[in-house]
């Protein structure tokens, strides 16, 4: 299954959702993007996810335009 999670800045909620979904099932193809993607993932989101054992520190905000020509489930 290929999933795209979209939000505004792609710095917190969508990054966290991407991390959680990937941790639930590594067979899932999960991506997140923002309509106005910012420059980095929120450090508090990284910290909170780390407390739950999910590392999102290497994830980067992406603009939704990057994924417009791809199909998702």
Q: What is the pLDDT of residue 56?
A: 98
Structure confidence at residue 66 (pLDDT): 98
pLDDT score for 27: 96
Match 């054992």 to its residue by tokens: 53
pLDDT at position 13 is: 97
Structure confidence by residue, pLDDT tens digits, 18-51: 999 999 999 999 999 999 999 999 999 999 999 9
Please tell me the predicted confidence (pLDDT) of residue 20: 97
Confidence category of residue 53, pLDDT binned at 50, 70, 90: very high
- Domains of the chain as residue ranges with CATH: 2-65 (3.40.50.2300)
- Residue 68 CA from chain centroid, whole number: 16
Q: How many CA atoms lie within 13 A of 44 on its CB side?
A: 2
């Amino acid at each position: 299954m290929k999933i795209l999670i979209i939000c505004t800045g792609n710095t917190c909620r969508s990054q966290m959702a991407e991390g959680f979904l990937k941790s639930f099932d590594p067979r899932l193809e999960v991506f997140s993007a923002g309509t106005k993607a910012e420059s980095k993932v929120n450090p508090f989101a990284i910290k909170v996810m780390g407390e739950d054992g999910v590392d999102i520190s290497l994830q980067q905000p992406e603009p939704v335009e990057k994924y417009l020509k791809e199909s998702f489930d």
